[in-house]
Amino acid sequence: MTFNELGLDHELLKAIETLGFVQPSPIQEKAIPVLLSGERDFVGLAQTGTGKTAAFGLPLLQQLDIFNPTVQGIILCPTRELCMQITKDLQVFAKYKGAVHIVPVYGGVSISNQIRDLKRGAHIVVATPGRLLDHIERGTIKLNTVRFAILDEADEMLNMGFQDDINDILSQTTKDKHVWLFSATMPKEVEQIARKYMNNPERITIGKVNATAENLEHQFCVVSAKDMNKVLARFIDYYPEMYGILFCRTKRDTQELANKLMKDGYNVDALHGDLSQQQRDTVMNRFRTRNIQMLIATDVAARGIDVNDVTHVLHLNLPDDSENYTHRSGRTARAGKSGISLVIINSRETGKLRSLEGRIGKKFKKVMVPTGKEICEKQLFSLIDSINNAEVDEAAVATYMHKVFTEFEKFSKEELIKRLISVEFNRYLKLYGKAPDLNLSDSGKNGDRRDKREGTQDRSEVSNELFINVGAMDVNDKSGFLAFLCDVSGVSGRDIGRINLKDSYSFFGVEDVEAANKIIKSLNGEEIEGRKIRVEFSGGAGSGNSGNSNNKGGGGFKSKGRGFDKSKQRSGGRDFNRSSGTKKNYSRGR
């Protein structure tokens, strides 16, 4: 099957050719003809990295009426990064189509620039749900002309707590539009959206749902928690060609680990929601241009990132659910390339690993932490490789060669090679010459089986509602609140139930005691706007109904806390931030 046979018009085919796409991917082959007909709702399930953007982007572009300046297509996606990426991809596809206006709108940045862009006209709006709602409420985007509503990474959007927003948005579109939903996995929440907002959709599933790519190798390695940093350094040193993403659970872990590794001279950096938008862009650019070898990221921050040729995804902990794992590991082995997904666990987690194996239907291969000797050898051969493959700029070196030869005259060829090699190699010998073996058996040897949960409560004595002294004044709105909760505590948005957001405090439901305890443990003592976060089971002592007068009065806005002041950007294009520094503004006109 070729792109020509799918019914795409000349301008799009030309763009595809320029991109060097030779053959449509399976999801493209199946989806494009259906979507081009413009007659069906559509559910497309395919793993990450299988070309879903073009699968919906090309048919959407073909059906636009360029001379009609209204919004004809909206594309909803979970994060700012993805929003920008889809916009960029679509602009490339539309290159020969004349003036197609594709405007990205996402949270966490000033809304006025977006309003200006929208005023110039938009055929397609690519949006994160929260920010799209803002625009709808301000009247800067109208949905009544939308003919195609596309949900990309639907499962992720729901994971991040966008369910209400998506419902809101879809219910404001007209009856005769079509909904195209794309997802890597099909949890029941996605099915609900399909049932509620779609009309007898055509369903296409490529491969096994919830599966990970075929060319992805799953590995695990059992180490002692205290050796984690050393172990990571070893893997990086063992794979000189590694270009990877490492996932940590919390922002704090992410930053601390990055700091440690950077201090030891590794080319890594952290990506998480505590960084400003600009910092995040800088980190992502440095990663894309390979100035960073490894990105250390939280789940939320790295969601949906499409960077080519990532060789390794590393997990410093087991993700909470198999879908999360699928999404993380889907950052590698993209577009037919191969990749490694390596889980580094302690012996207590081996049981959890087995159950993950069952759910993704793949076996994890046990690998050992490279020994010092193995690393030295690997580095030596990598050095030889790079000497072999070095490009010599004859003209540039010519001027120095005479002097260089004179300097080295005294050495025999063998002696010279030895010295050349040693320049680099000594570093690794020094680091690893006497390094111990860091491998643990996975049988639980010296594993502390009991998980001591200090300060947490037993199921029997709790309600499943929590109180927190964080409210709309800190996080803007419910989706901001959710993103904040998930980002700081590492729990999944699905574990959070109903949210009752007040000005300076909130109540929220939690799915189970484990999630509740995790939130309590990770949030208590953190700071927001310069004051200490307090979170506890509601109904317990000081359930917070009495007004929390200590939070009022705006003092919190001025002090610079560690975490969440307004100058800092949150995760993935979600807007927890007030759009300006004044207190009244948190409601953004709602």
Footprint of ligand ADP (CB under 6 A) = 21, 23-25, 28, 46, 48-54, 306, 308, 334-335
| Residue 1 or 397 having the CB closest to ligand ADP | 1
Q: Select the binding partner of residue 54 from ligand ADP, Mg ion, none (C-beta < 5 to 8 A, by kind).
A: ligand ADP
* Interhelix angle 478-489/129-138, nearest 10 degrees: 160
> Is 467 within 8 Å of 538 (Cβ atoms)?
yes
Number of residue whose CB is nearest ligand ADP: 51
Interface segment toward Mg ion; rule CB under 5 A; list 48-56, 259-267, 363-371, 529-537:
48-56
Q: CB 153 → ligand ADP: shortest distance, Å?
A: 8
Number of residue whose CB is nearest Mg ion: 52
| Residue 49 or 544 having the CB closest to ligand ADP | 49
177 contributes a contact to Mg ion by CB under 5 A: no
Distance CA 230, CA 351 (A): 24
Distance CA 129, CA 127 (A): 6
- 304: closest CA among 57, 485, 48? 48
| Residue 77 or 268 having the CB closest to ligand ADP | 77
Q: CB 297 → Mg ion: shortest distance, Å?
A: 17
How far is the CA of 536 from the CAs of 83, 234, 252, 481, 542, in angstroms?
A: 35, 40, 21, 16, 9
Q: Select the binding partner of residue 425 from ligand ADP, Mg ion, none (C-beta < 5 to 8 A, by kind).
A: none
| Residue 18 or 463 having the CB closest to ligand ADP | 18
Tabulate helix, strand, coil % of the chain (nearest 5).
45, 15, 40
Task: For the segment 406-445, give every residue that binds Mg ion (CB under 5 A).
Answer: none
Parallel, antiparallel, or unpaired for β 178-183 and 124-127?
unpaired
Distance CA 541, CA 543 (A): 6
- Give residue 554's Cα distance to chain centre: 33
| Residue 75 or 488 having the CB closest to Mg ion | 75
At residue 434, the 3 state secondary structure works out as: coil
| Residue 48 or 91 having the CB closest to ligand ADP | 48
- Both tokens assigned to 125: 């709006």
| Residue 52 or 272 having the CB closest to Mg ion | 52
Q: Select the binding partner of residue 51 from Mg ion, ligand ADP, none (C-beta < 5 to 8 A, by kind).
A: ligand ADP
What DSSP state is assigned to residue 243? Answer: -
Q: Select the binding partner of residue 308 from Mg ion, ligand ADP, none (C-beta < 5 to 8 A, by kind).
A: ligand ADP
Q: Select the binding partner of residue 193 from Mg ion, ligand ADP, none (C-beta < 5 to 8 A, by kind).
A: none
Provide φ and ψ at 280, rounded to 5°. -65, -45
Q: CB 207 → ligand ADP: shortest distance, Å?
A: 11
327 contributes a contact to Mg ion by CB under 5 A: no
Task: For the segment 52-71, give every residue that binds Mg ion (CB under 5 A).
Answer: 52
Tokens 């207590």 belong to 348
Q: CB 372 → Mg ion: shortest distance, Å?
A: 41
Q: Select the binding partner of residue 101 from Mg ion, ligand ADP, none (C-beta < 5 to 8 A, by kind).
A: none
Q: Select the binding partner of residue 24 from ligand ADP, Mg ion, none (C-beta < 5 to 8 A, by kind).
A: ligand ADP
Interface segment toward Mg ion; rule CB under 5 A; list 49-57, 120-128, 281-289, 315-323:
49-57
Burial 10-28 (b: 16+ CB within 10 A, else e): ebbbebbeeeebeebbbbb
Instruction: For the chain, give the number of residues.
Output: 590
At residue 179, the 3 state secondary structure works out as: strand
Residues in contact with Mg ion by CB under 5 A are: 52
